[in-house]
Chains A and B, each alone.
Chain A
């Protein structure tokens, strides 16, 4: 079945430490891949996206993600987390069927400790 999996419901990271959020997808072909961030009660902001080409993509706010076809993964990373990064992070997939139909993972809540 087609799906997007974020295995970590919550992650707590110390401020200044590195971060990696995991995302795996299950689709027949390589879909378009996205990471969004959402603060409580707010809409979603696009952090970065992957369509094709270089498998390491840079995004806003110092985030990057690496597409690994062999592992069907698109993990999000940041070398040094700031307290303002605390939020919900969603991995999303567009199966590229003609209309943009984003399918979101279940999300990972990032908590940042002092």
Chain B
């Protein structure tokens, strides 16, 4: 299994809703990532988890709350989002969090989020 699975593929939510994005991998990878990609823009790193601990938070607003319940799962909890948060949210994983052991990121297909 060399896949990163993200659910749901599409999500529409209101600004008062609470929703969660889910990411799963069974490759034994110890680092997992959330990226945000606005339309026609490159992906931008949001969070990095290393061995189930939050290692990097790229100054992401608190309305985005990541969670890593175990080594295979990564969630992104959403609350009180704004329309400008509409984007493709990509999850990725790598064998190790840094150095040449992290040489390859495996990306999921993403969750296309629309905030109304």
Contacts and interface: CB of A to CB of B under 8 A. Distances in A.
Nearest to B88: A41
Contacts of B100: 32, 51
B97 A44 contact: no
Residue from the set B4, B56, B94, B105 with the largest chain A CB neighbour count within 10 Å: B105
Nearest to A49: B103
Contact of B42 (A41, A97, A101, A106): A106
Contact of A100 (B42, B43, B88, B98): B98
A67 interface: no
| Majority secondary structure of chain A interface residues (helix, strand, loop or mixed) | loop
Q: Determine the interface band of chain A, counting residues with CB < 8 A from chain B.
A: 20 to 34
B41 A106 contact: yes
10 contacts: A41-B88, A41-B112, A42-B109, A43-B107, A43-B109, A90-B42, A99-B48, A101-B48, A104-B43, A104-B44
Interface of B: 4, 31, 33, 40-45, 48, 50, 55-56, 88, 90, 92, 94, 97-100, 102-105, 107-110, 112
